[in-house]
Structure 1
Amino acid sequence: MARRETALQTAHGRLRGLIGSEFRSGDKLPNERDLADRLEVSRATVREVLGQLVAEGVVTRTWGIGTFVHDSAERVPVSIGDVTALRDRITASGHRPTLQDAAVSRAKCPADCAKLLGLEPDSTVWRVDRLFAVDGVAAAWIRDHLPLRFDGRDLDPSGLVSIDLDMFEFLASATGMPVRRAEIELTAVLADEESTARLGVAAGHPLITGTQIGYGTDDAALFHGHITVRTDVLTLRISRGGDPSPAR
């Protein structure tokens, strides 16, 4: 029994060392067979050690998907129940938001948003790509589309490449119409090639993606976007209360 415990402790230490030297937070580990070969132990031993590491919070295991290195940093809770800038939600949680990457370009309007924005299929729209980081760690990738003009006004979203300007602030200033309501539909997904490149996670890493629509006065759609979130960095929280005060 003592020999078995020693073998488990040795395998435990070697696997923790392997994780610390060769893998980053969010990376997917090799399968049990490969780990057993590298550590020169049985698959049963690897399975038992991985169970210990799950209990210790070093890794997370998802049935049918794999084992991932857990992010030891504190997850940042952000509310999605109100119309507030993501930047401000992160700041309110006591953390530092930054833009790791941002770009504004003209592009063809995707089919799922052309009708919503009242545009012809394949119309040219503004596309705004922003990669938000929390305390230096990539956390959310947002791609928004908005019309070139709204209610006779030309829109110029180039200022959105700065963390100092948020989409809600920009639209209120540029259109004279604040975003009164935002709808978001969330789906659990696994990281694809583009998500891995943007967010720095391994292929197959669990993520949350959402489609967001911002509405102004009289339910006029102002923008249509997609957000992809690393839930090992951010947690999404929905708060529901009683009768809200009327918008002013």
Structure 2
Amino acid sequence: MTSRFIPRQRLARESIEEILMATAPGERLPSEDQLAKQLGMSRPTIRSALSALEQEGLVIRKHGVGTFATRPPRTMNASLQVLNSVADIVRDNGYEPSVINIHIQSLELPDHVKEALSLSQNTSGYRVTRTVLADGEPAVFLIDYLPAQIGSTTVDLSGFSDKMMPALAQLGIVIAYATTRISIKRSSDEAAQALGIEPQEAVLYLQQVAYTKAQIPAIFSVGYHREGFISYTITRHTEFKERSEP
């Protein structure tokens, strides 16, 4: 009878997963040296297994601090082809959305916002921040910038609750479409505090400009998406051109 060979890394991973089952989220795991001695394996094998678990969001490794257990990843999916609020995305994926820490600040808009919205210098407006929760867990930290006047309409945010597009629609400002750029970025200190993560931790970063039906750039938004909560999909098509016959 031939015995089945099981790679050492797989054995290490399965052993560490058993440790994780008995470890509360946020608790620190034994060090690589301790795990190597405990499991009778080499430190490189342990490190490789931990790296695989980190990529799947099961642990967080902080340089110079240690490895910590995380909550099981809960990924929600959304299409980039539909312009929905984050709260609606959370609800559509079967979770209960809520919005906390809403702050509305009047200010002169930053230069990069004025450039993105094609505004003149010395344009005043608003900076609106809030945190979207999914079943009570911080998922996305949002920042919206918008001028005090969009087209011929004065922006009044006194009735703002949690969603920007419906608030503007009540004023007669209807958002028709948006251009969005997605990247991986280090979290700012402000976003890290809102999401309960470490500063400079990697997040999914969405930068967006929303336009009215009259094609007026109205809102400059950025969203810091905590890892493992929301993923976005988009349908892509080939651009195949048949070569004409000679």
- Tell me how far 1:184 sits from its aligned partner: 0.8
How many pairs were matched up? 221
Name the residue aligned to 2:220. 224
Calculate percent identity across the aligned residue pairs: 22
Paired with 2:151 and 2:45, the residues of 1 have a C-alpha distance of 66
Q: Is the 8 A contact 2:117 2:209 kept in 1?
A: no
Judging changes above 3 Å, is the alpha-carbon distance between structure 1 residues 235 and 71 closer, same or farther for their aligned structure 2 residues?
A: farther
Q: Is 1:205 the equivalent of 2:201?
A: yes
Name the residue aligned to 2:24. 20
Paired with 2:224 and 2:57, the residues of 1 have a C-alpha distance of 24
Counterpart code for 1:131: T
Where does structure 1 lack aligned partners over 5 or more consecutive residues?
A: 24-28, 242-248
Counterpart code for 1:237: T
Which structure exhibits the higher relative contact order, with contacts defined as CA atoms closer than 8 Å and separated by 6 or more residues? Answer: 1
TM-score (norm 1): 0.72
Name the residue aligned to 1:246. none
- Residues 102-111 or 75-84, more deviating: 75-84
Q: Is the 8 A contact 1:193 1:203 kept in 2?
A: yes
Paired with 1:152 and 1:81, the residues of 2 have a C-alpha distance of 29
**RMSD of aligned C-alpha atoms?**
3.6
Write out aligned runs for 1:24-173 (5 A).
35-36=31-32, 41=37, 43-44=43-44, 46-47=46-47, 50=50, 53=53, 58-59=58-59, 69-160=69-160, 162-163=161-162, 166-173=163-170
- Residues 42-51 or 110-119, more deviating: 42-51
Q: Is the 8 A contact 1:109 1:123 kept in 2?
A: yes
TM-score (norm 2): 0.73
